[in-house]
Amino acid sequence: MGNALSAEVASRLFLSGNDAVAHAVRDAGVRVAAAYPGTPSTEILEVVARFPGLYAEWSPNEKVALEVALGASMMGARAFSAMKHVGLNVASDALMTLTVTGVEGGLVIAVADDVGMSSSQNEQDSRFWGRFAHIPVFEPADSQEAYDMTRAAYRLSEAFKVPVLLRLTTRICHVKGRVELSAAETHEPGGFTKDPRRWVMVPGNAKPRLPLMFEREAALAAEAEASPLNRLEAGSDRRIGFVTSGPAYMHVREAFPDAPVLKLGLSYPPPLTKVRELAALVETLVVVEETEPLLENELRAAGIRCEGKNLLPRLGELAPEVLRRGIATLRGDVVADAPALPAQQVFPRPPTMCVACPHLGIYYTLSQLRNIIISGDIGCYTLGAGHPWNALDTCISMGASMGMALGMDKGRGAADQNKKIVAVIGDSTFMHMGMQGLLDITYNRGNVTILLLDNRAVGMTGGQDNPATGRDIHGIEAPRVDFPRICEALGVKKERIRVVDPYQLPVLFKALREETKIEEPSVIITDRPCVLIDDYKKTPPYAVTEDKCTGCGNCLDVGCPAIHVTRRGKEVKASGKEVDLAFVRIETSACTGCGLCVQPCAPEAIAHSVPVMPVRFMQRSGGAA
């Protein structure tokens, strides 16, 4: 009895959507899983990697991750790939041919849309990729469905020899719920079958496969009509019926519990017959979708009258209060404004870097330079655009800092002739998409100085390992990238490559000043680990001697959040100029002893709170500070 109870409890877990997908990948008998970390999808592969007997890897980018999964599928193995919405843009080159070849072993691609842009540079609707690539799209509405639909996606993938897109959103990825696991299955790869007409996509082989792709899509449309994942829920209020999917379904159910709803789990191809059935039951049909009017436009093209984005916003989550307000005019309801709460005096908390982050000294130094343009990239270091540094001028996409810097150099006019161009890029981003940009800079003789910030982690998404850390996804020792040698191989002269300690501000400042004067490509590699990973070693904290602090505020310009202003004042100089004063203290419980604040402190009011022996930071091979 006890054993039976234990088995029952073990199959019922409290999981986020990401956790649920990971468990489904394991229980579906997947053999190979590959991803590139990106919020909100990161945790899927982190959980998958814990399961024994399943190969998991962090790939250099999403395109490589999808190609790894495809290779496993060609061998007849079940495979999985995960990424955030902008990652699918990177992987799309492989995806758009993969849809023509089809798959052998089941292949599921989980793509997490950051609806509301919690941590992304744009807001995309990945359902478009299903239409564009002619592949089915599953949209879970909670953690249980994330598990069940992932399992179902593998069955559908193998039945139709098609990759399946599992579209998640931030709300699904991170909200937890109870999940009942079903019996795990094993899946033995069938082996690779040589078939150049299928796998070698030269035009002569690809053209005959295009009609097969459209035949498959028609068969999938019939599957969508019969699928239990698309269900029509009756309601007593027939004034308005809703067609919806994913987390928007939950919001519709909360806002309008008595309305008929067609919930789409397999949302592409759309089940038009079921939609028409609902339309016949209600006075008005409303499509509720996050974020684009994709289904709405398809229904109208099919001759089905409906409302949608004329009532509801095209950006952000469609929370119940948003729905009620948008639908109020159709139902004749009056929606009262929420009672206004008294304004709260909340101390502003803009996003900032961590205490002792190695990027602090970099942006402090950049902020001291004049007559430069700084091309930025995607990562923790994007925060350099904010206060107090204001030392980043652009940020577009992964790896874009390199190509944009070259374009700035080649496109400059008379007004910018004397300006220095600096590109800032992190280690993981450099390997993801930056190396090609550096090659372009050297090949085309660009006058650009590159700051390659090696903090030995994918810091922005939680400190995951990558080829520069010397460890794989399991923490096992792996070959470690040598950035100086890579830069030299990509065409940068050896004497124009420097490795510096970003905590040594005078050295960093000198390197930047000298390299930006050289009219050829140069690379400055900063080499300190992220403060949130095990590689980082703390030293005793610093403290401010109050009677020595003159209130100059120089230490505040570093931007370390461990430094707090205790009081402010003003001083009139002999010249008659009035200057602001800021007297500070250091939160010793947060301070890691990096020493960044000590260096700009004019009155030498900052010192270790306890005496310490000097520690020399060891540089990696390939350069010296």
Is pLDDT above 50 for 618? no
357 among annotated binding-site residues: no
The band of 623, judged by pLDDT with boundaries at 50, 70 and 90, is: very low
Domain boundary among 183, 207, 226: 226
Same domain, 450 and 513: yes
Say if 3 falls within a structural domain: no
Same domain, 235 and 206: no
CB contact at 8 A, 421 and 373 = yes
pTM of the predicted structure, to 2 decimals: 0.86
Residues of the chain above pLDDT 90, percent:
78
Give the helix/strand (H/E) hosting 109. Answer: strand 107-113
Same domain, 521 and 395: yes
What confidence score (pLDDT) does residue 318 get?
A: 92
Same domain, 268 and 369: no
Number of domains observed in the structure of the chain = 4
Say if 352 falls within a structural domain: no
The larger pLDDT score, comparing residue 333 to residue 151, is at 151
The span from the CA of 373 to the CA of 371, in Å, is 7
Same domain, 43 and 183: yes
Same domain, 405 and 450: yes
Ramachandran angles phi, psi of 126, nearest 5°: -75, -5
Neighbours of 99 (CB within 10 A): 22
Domain boundary among 203, 226, 249: 226
Is pLDDT above 80 for 263? yes
The span from the CA of 287 to the CA of 389, in Å, is 45
CATH code of 262's domain: 3.40.50.920
Same domain, 279 and 410: no
Same domain, 55 and 189: yes
What confidence score (pLDDT) does residue 351 get?
A: 80
Same domain, 395 and 510: yes
The span from the CA of 179 to the CA of 181, in Å, is 6
Q: Position of tokens 């495809």?
A: 70
CB contact at 8 A, 442 and 490 = yes
Say if 345 falls within a structural domain: no
Boundaries of domain holding 44: 12-226
Domain boundary among 475, 500, 527: 527
Q: Which of 312-316, 326-330, 494-498, 577-581 has the highest mean pLDDT?
A: 494-498
Same domain, 502 and 551: no
380 among annotated binding-site residues: no
591 among annotated binding-site residues: yes
Sheet holding 372-375, edge to edge: 372-375, 420-426, 449-454, 522-527, 497-500
CATH code of 175's domain: 3.40.50.970
Q: What beta strand segments (E) does 191-275 contain?
A: 230-233, 240-245, 261-264, 266-268
The span from the CA of 252 to the CA of 255, in Å, is 5
Say if 533 falls within a structural domain: no
Same domain, 312 and 242: yes
Say if 349 falls within a structural domain: no
pLDDT digit string, tens, across residues 491-546:
999 999 999 999 999 999 999 999 999 999 999 999 999 999 888 999 999 999 99
pLDDT digit string, tens, across residues 202-251:
999 999 999 999 999 999 999 999 999 999 999 989 999 999 999 999 99
What confidence score (pLDDT) does residue 577 get?
A: 86
The span from the CA of 419 to the CA of 407, in Å, is 14
- Of 470, 466, 374, the closest CA to residue 420 belongs to 374
Same domain, 28 and 162: yes
